[in-house]
Amino acid sequence: MNYFLSISGIPGSGKSTLADFLLKKIPAVHISSDMVRKEYFGDSSLADLRYKKPLKSAVIKILDLVSENNFLKKNNIIYDSVQSDPNIFIGQEKLCSTYKYQYITIELLFSYSTLKKRIVNRTNDPFASEADLSVMTRFWKEKISFYGLDETMNEFEIIENIKNEYLNQKNSSRISIKICESKNRDFEIICLKEPPKIIWDALKEFINLV
């Protein structure tokens, strides 16, 4: 069975870095929202706008078309995008069911202070997106709002609340994974269903490099 690995996370969390790492372990096609934004909406003056509607919706539509083309070609797919809308996962799950792909989602869940540091210090990062500190902060606040949490909470309490809600989820057909930062700045992998060994081993290796 082919894999569809969908990597999500707030800008600065290292989605493209993880995607590149997995590409060294798994033969796959990389589909990236950053690539689409730069190719189709390349004016750097639009950097913030590209993360808002309607351009965000246009980016997702292009990603879906590229994904479906690769489903038809029977390619493994590594898809990385901010993906703040849960409906995106529903659409991906339907496509994977239609084309008989194993659907695996991986979310990178870092603290605000770590994300800020990564955004500020990533000038030499070849995988860096164009999202700046204001874009990252907006997505962090949207994440807090989505889970009904208070912005004044400690950043690691926020992560812990999100992690606990995830662990209380009902089973679905997809393999869902979160890579979470703890208050001692370590990273842990949590999942409701264990992924294929090749992916599990790659993720364990990756968190030792973060």
User: Does residue 209 have a pLDDT over 70?
Assistant: yes
**Residue 39, pLDDT score:** 75
3-class secondary-structure state, position 176: strand
Provide the mean pLDDT of the chain.
Answer: 86
* Domain at 3-207, CATH from 3.40.630.10, 3.40.50.740, 3.30.9.10, 3.40.50.300: 3.40.50.300
Count CA atoms within 13 Å of residue 70 on its CB side. Answer: 23
Please check the confidence at residue 22 and state whether its pLDDT lies above 80: yes
Q: Which of 38-42, 90-94, 201-205 has the lowest mean pLDDT?
A: 38-42
pLDDT (0 to 100) of residue 91: 82
Greatest C-alpha distance within the chain:
48
CA 35, 38, 39 angle in degrees (round to 5)? 80
Helical (H) or strand (E) element with 98: helix 87-99
- Residues 45-58 have a mean pLDDT of 59
Amino acid, res. 73 = K
Reported as a pLDDT band with limits 50, 70 and 90, residue 62 is confident
What pLDDT shows up at residue 81?
85
pTM attached to this predicted model: 0.87
Specify the DSSP class assigned to residue 51: G
CA dist 37 and 103 (Å) reads: 24
Q: How far apart are the first and last CA of the chain?
A: 29
The length of the chain, given as a count of residues: 210
Kindly give, in sequence order, each residue whose CB lies less than 8 Å from that of residue 15, ignoring residues fewer than 6 positions away: 7, 8, 9, 80, 81, 82, 108
Domain ranges (residues) in the chain: 3-207
Mean pLDDT score, 101-107:
94
| Alpha-carbon gap, residue 147 to 91, rounded angstroms | 21
Q: Is the pLDDT of residue 147 over 60?
A: yes
